[in-house]
Amino acid sequence: MKFYIIHEGFYEGVQARIDLLKSACVKMGLKVFCVDSLDFDYSKLPKLSKQDLLYNISSGSQTLVSLLLNDEVTTFYKKNPNLNLITSTTEWTIIHTKAKLPQPKTIFHLTKNRVILKAYIDFLGGFPLIIKSPGGSRGIGTIKIETWQNLISTVDYLVTTPDSFIMREFIHADYGARVIVLGNEVILSKKFYFQENDFRNAPILSATHYEPMEIDEPTKQLCIKAVHLANLEMAGVDLLFERETGKPYLLEINFPTGFQSFMDDPQPVLTKMIQHLINKANRYE
């Protein structure tokens, strides 16, 4: 049995993810093939079988993963797609909005039209509000907007860029959670706090702070449903808990998901992830 780890280059944290996953695979007796999609010979594509495990460990690599996907290869997808087209968490947010999951109200298109912008402010519950770049990670590209002047000056610039943005309701919260879903259960939940003088929890990786957290059964089911709606069996789910009521709001799901920054020892979780794929592959033998 072989485990294909796919990644696109090396941004912060990728090498650590690779090293941790490779170590867990070796301990479980798996052969590991680590493939950088930026430095791969596309004329020599392998044909993957049920006994091949495939996981794209970082952002990017959509083309290579799409080429490697077939009906047999074992993945964390509930049903293997023909194409891997998801490039950001925003696409899954659309699915969750349609399913009416509890999440911040979201506008999926930015405009500089002042009349429409005022309607958006009313829809989102007023200031503050959030503008978010779909491609960001660790809160990079997430902007808190406090006033009308701040909004129009920011939007006037952003719409001139090639990027797309969403607007979201601002949830007043003192903490959130990162939850790991695997199959039909939550295997880890950690509370996170916001960094000093910031509304985000992880823009400076070394300043992140997580601690163990128990979440109730309805919140677990929310996380599991969010992951399954995205055709996934594993993902990291980010929640915020509203300050006044304690109500959980789904921020986004992350696939692939990082694991080294919020776990003291990621190996037990990685072992469960790998074993899930091994069991899935063996069910069809």
Domains 105-169 and 173-254 share a fold: no
Please state, in angstroms and as integers, the Cα–Cα distance from residue 252 to each residue in 101, 112, 212, following that order.
11, 26, 20
Domain 105-169 has CATH 3.30.1490.20: yes
pLDDT tens-place string over residues 83-110? 887 877 888 999 999 999 999 999 999 9
Q: Per-residue confidence at 135, pLDDT binned at 50, 70, 90?
A: low
Instruction: Say how far apart CA 144 and CA 173 lie, in whole Å.
Output: 14
Q: Which tokens hold the place of 28?
A: 């479980």
CB of 248 within 8 A of CB of 219? yes
Average pLDDT over residues 158-174: 93
Residue 203 has pLDDT above 60, yes or no: no
Residue 206 has pLDDT above 90, yes or no: no
β-strand 210-212 against 166-169: which pairing, if any? unpaired
Q: Which residue in 227, 223, 238 sits closest to 176, CA to CA?
A: 238
Q: Per-residue confidence at 243, pLDDT binned at 50, 70, 90?
A: very high
For residue 187, the model assigns a pLDDT of 94
Instruction: Say how far apart CA 46 and CA 68 lie, in whole Å.
Output: 7
Give 273 or 192, the one with higher predicted confidence. Answer: 273
Strand partners, 240: 176, 249
Q: In whole numbers, what is the pLDDT of the chain averaged over residues?
A: 90
Cα end-to-end distance, the chain, whole Å? 12
Collapse the DSSP code of 10 into the 3-class scheme (helix H, G, I; strand E, B; otherwise coil) and give the result. coil
Sorted by where each begins, the domain ranges of the chain are 2-78, 105-169, 173-254
For residue 138, the model assigns a pLDDT of 64
Instruction: Say how far apart CA 58 and CA 17 lie, in whole Å.
Output: 9
Provide the CATH number for the domain formed by 173-254 in this structure. 3.30.470.20
Q: Choose the weakest-confidence range: 41-55, 87-101, 124-138, 169-183.
A: 124-138
Q: Which tokens hold the place of 22?
A: 């490779």
Q: Tell me which amino acid residue 73 is.
A: V
Instruction: Say how far apart CA 285 and CA 268 lie, in whole Å.
Output: 26
Residue 205 has pLDDT above 70, yes or no: no
Instruction: Say how far apart CA 180 and CA 186 lie, in whole Å.
Output: 6
Average pLDDT over residues 215-227: 97
Strand partners, 53: 3, 74
pLDDT tens-place string over residues 38-75? 999 999 999 999 999 999 998 889 999 999 999 999 99
C-alpha atoms less than 13 angstroms from C-alpha of 116 in its C-beta half-sphere? 9
Residue 283 has pLDDT above 90, yes or no: no
Q: Which tokens hold the place of 7?
A: 């990644």
